[in-house]
Structure 1
Amino acid sequence: MSNFVFVLDTNKRRLNPVHPREARLMLNQGKAAVFRKYPFTIILKESCPDVLVQDLELLLDPGSKVTGIAIKQGNKVLFGAEVQHRGQQIRDALLSRRQLRRGRRNRKTRYRQPRFLNRTRPSGWLAPSLQHRVLTTLTWVRKFIRLAPIASLAQELVRFDLQLMQNSEVSGVEYQRGELQGYEVREYLLEKWNRRCAYCSVENVPFEVEHIQPKSKGGSERVSNLTIACHDCNQSKGNQDIRDFLSSKSDLLNHVLKQAKSPLKDAAAVNSTRWALFNALKATGLPVTTGTGGQTKFNRTRLNLPKAHWTDAACVGRIDSLLILTSKPLLIAAKGHGTRQMCRTDKYGFPSRYVPRNKFVKGFQTGDIVKAIVEKGKKIGQYVGRVAVRSTGSFNISTNNGLVQGISHKYCSIIHRKDGYNYGFCHDAEFIQRVVLPPRVKTSRFPYSRRFLDEKTRRSH
């Protein structure tokens, strides 16, 4: 079952969301028009000042990579969504920019003294990859507030104990002692790995500090992600994943993974942004309640719901019962709004291509979601996805099945204008079957005035 449809009257007054069946009937009868495709919203052609609007609650399950969103009306879950963040992409882009700048400065400029000591950061500063998570979540909260009568907000204010996650027996004064107490990093690694190469076990040779999970693939500088290796093994591994490098040595792979602790990057990101998001939600002026992670898990287990970000959001706070009226959450992926860079570079920082001066080509711009129906040629078919425009008028469309190149603008029609996000729906049949759907509840056909119905429809009611 799909999400409920948001409804606005002709004055853009927010009304109660309706079932997709009811929205389809209003559209077919000409009583409403499509206002927005994602999330699907219709606008009525008459005002409805006499319609009683029921307050809704917006619930959030903030995560490092994905944030779950649910909208409830009492105990009924009417809408679910999952927002996929692009924090890792932002981090990689900033890292690449820093490396390219450093390379240019070393090649072309004289030595410059460091200036980092005279650069101060404001109170509450967050790294761009973390600030993105807060701003993206807040953007979607504001969008839903404009489309539905949201009266309150709820957030899962979870806190991770990073030291306890590494060592389940830590207590007391041990919290004040780090893993490297009394050691330098290299000496600690030599003791930890018995002064042998972690990959070939050679001894009495110069060792190099090696990242188990490569930095180019998201690895951190934490000591648990470091090991020692001889020069030959370090060069052979390069930036390969440890599982690929030791694919033929399963025993050695298990030993290295056992020594290396699980990364805490995601837990640290949630810890860093939870209060910033809470304060941003309070600034909206709506009442905000919070719930713990244990409370969310208890509710989800008690109600026998599958593990998903949007179902976790629906279980935030104190809940007696839930009536899940949707099983197809809207999947939202942050793609960014492009770049100001007019001259694109290759991986070494040298110019490779230029961007056209005009963003719009034949009425389209890169990032629009289009529908192309090709009726002749080698690419006959129907394609839906984000478009990448070209000055020649021959576009590329990114669909769920891959990239389709060389589609003429004549076959394209706009579905959704560029807003920095890509959209989709969960089509996992097994997931949908695991959702405990309630029996259908008979309700009135429309929650609005009878004047929207013709005489035939009135008699049928």
Structure 2
Amino acid sequence: MMGNYHVRICRRVGAGDSPLDSIGIALVNNRDEVIWGMELHHRGQQIKDSLETRKAVRRGRRARHTRYRQTRFLNRTRPEGWLNAPSLRHRVLTIETWVKRLMKFAPIVTLTQELVKFDLQAMQNPEISGTEYQQGTLHGYECREYLLEKWNRQCAYCGIKDVPLEVEHIQPKSKGGSDRISNLCLACHKCNQNKGNKDVKEFLKGKPEVLSRILKQAKSPLKDAAAVNSTRWALLKVLGRFGLKVYANSGARTKFNRIKLGLPKAHWIDAACVDFVEKLIILTTKILTVKSTGKGTRRLCRINKFGFPCSNPRTSYEHGWNTGDVATGKGVTGRVVVQSKTRLEIRIDGKRIGAQLSDFKKLHCKDGYSYA
């Protein structure tokens, strides 16, 4: 690979009930050509669920009349730049890992991050500090971007896509509705006009399934947006440690560039549009989709709901195979599960294809990610 290259990073929150916090990464050369792109899905929610399970098991043990460790507090020190949740640290460290990988294969000279910020206070309480607080150059932009992600870029009432969408108050303001994010959705012009100032229950009285979905989705939490806010400066600081030029641009710049260039909506294309660009030439259509899976667990065996072991202790073998390696054999390709010192198994769509070690060929060692 000749010339210099630029890594551009764009972060997006999960849409609807999706727990995924995704990022797009694009590799652009000096001729404004996008030669590589990827979309990476974090596992922050999976980490959170595992910690809550561990917490419940420990509390259950302490409640029983058996030997246990007393609860401890004030015995941990916090380093500088400490993030208060492992799920947040995971988001930053995962991006750092992939930037290091790209630096091994291409001469990177600049790193550009979309320093997006969702104004949670303005979302929940628009009157928090006066009109000057909200009526800047980008007034309402971040709120619209969040709604586009939350409602999957389609009309909440009829589900139509690829048409101009308008911000709609679920409970009309004329009947006591507010501007908070939990009372906003997206609607096409026709549905918006037909609803008018009707109550949403009156408007959808013949569609109980749609009404139930809208009311449930409207109350979905802002945790993904809060995670982006909490880690954006920590990520910028981590990127600065590589000794390269690091730039930060707003989400408004990303959307402006994408619309001006007439490019489709995708995380990796948004990443390519993060910087100040006059043109972009997309040279790739097949991007790398990566999902963070982790490298395993520290538990020696599985436990039941009461906290007692319910499987055999974990065993290591000397044949060099590990559960999670990607292999091909017996006409299938997938992640393997080590059964014994002589047998492996690939599980696909609920089916188990097992065979001897010699029947499989290793394609990729387990590294904590799955690829598509």
Same fold per TM (> 0.5)?
Answer: yes
Matched, 1:383 2:342: no
Choose the corresponding residue for 2:7, options 58, 75, 82. Answer: 58
Choose the corresponding residue for 2:24, options 68, 79, 86. Answer: 68
Give % identity: 50
Cα distance, 1:170 vs. partner? Answer: 4.6
Q: Could you tell me which residue of structure 2 aligns to residue 369 of structure 1?
A: 326
The DSSP-based 3-state class of the residue aligned with 1:353 is: coil
Q: Could you tell me which residue of structure 1 aligns to residue 361 of structure 2?
A: 413
Of stretches 336-345 and 139-148 in structure 1, the one that deviates more from structure 2 is: 336-345
Which protein shows a greater Rg? 1
TM-score by length of 1: 0.58
Q: Could you tell me which residue of structure 1 aligns to residue 264 of structure 2?
A: 306
Letter of the 1:56 partner, please give it.
Y
Cα distance, 1:123 vs. partner? Answer: 3.5
Q: Could you tell me which residue of structure 2 aligns to residue 163 of structure 1?
A: 121
Choose the corresponding residue for 2:346, options 382, 385, 397. Answer: 397
Change (3 A) 1:139 1:252: closer
Q: Could you tell me which residue of structure 2 aligns to residue 99 of structure 1?
A: 56
On the 8 A contact 1:359/1:366 being kept in 2, the answer is: no
Instruction: Name the Cα RMSD after superposition.
Output: 2.8
On the 8 A contact 1:396/1:403 being kept in 2, the answer is: no
CA distance in 2, matches of 1:63, 1:250: 28
Unaligned runs of 5+ in 2: 14-20, 134-181, 183-206
**Total equivalences in the alignment:** 292
Choose the corresponding residue for 1:253, options 180, 200, 212. Answer: 212
CA distance in 1, matches of 2:347, 2:371: 12
CA distance in 2, matches of 1:385, 1:359: 20
Kindly provide the CA deviation profile for residues 88-134 of structure 1, in whole angstroms up to 9, marking residues without a partner as x.
11000000000000000111358998643454533322110000000
CA distance in 2, matches of 1:256, 1:289: 40
CA distance in 2, matches of 1:297, 1:256: 29
Cα distance, 1:253 vs. partner? Answer: 3.1
Choose the corresponding residue for 2:280, options 308, 319, 322. Answer: 322
CA distance in 1, matches of 2:276, 2:94: 26
CA distance in 1, matches of 2:333, 2:214: 47
Cα distance, 1:62 vs. partner? Answer: 2.6
Matched, 1:346 2:295: no
Q: Could you tell me which residue of structure 2 aligns to residue 144 of structure 1?
A: 102
Change (3 A) 1:68 1:256: closer
Kindly provide the CA deviation profile for residues 282-310 of structure 1, in whole angstroms up to 9, marking residues without a partner as x.
00111111111111011111112221111
Cα distance, 1:251 vs. partner? Answer: 8.4
On the 8 A contact 1:335/1:421 being kept in 2, the answer is: yes
Letter of the 2:360 partner, please give it.
C
The DSSP-based 3-state class of the residue aligned with 1:95 is: helix
Q: Could you tell me which residue of structure 2 aligns to residue 457 of structure 1?
A: none
Tell me: higher relative CO, structure 1 or 2? Use CA pairs within 8 A at least 6 residues apart.
2
Cα distance, 1:337 vs. partner? Answer: 1.0
Cα distance, 1:405 vs. partner? Answer: 3.5
CA distance in 2, matches of 1:144, 1:273: 21
CA distance in 1, matches of 2:311, 2:71: 33
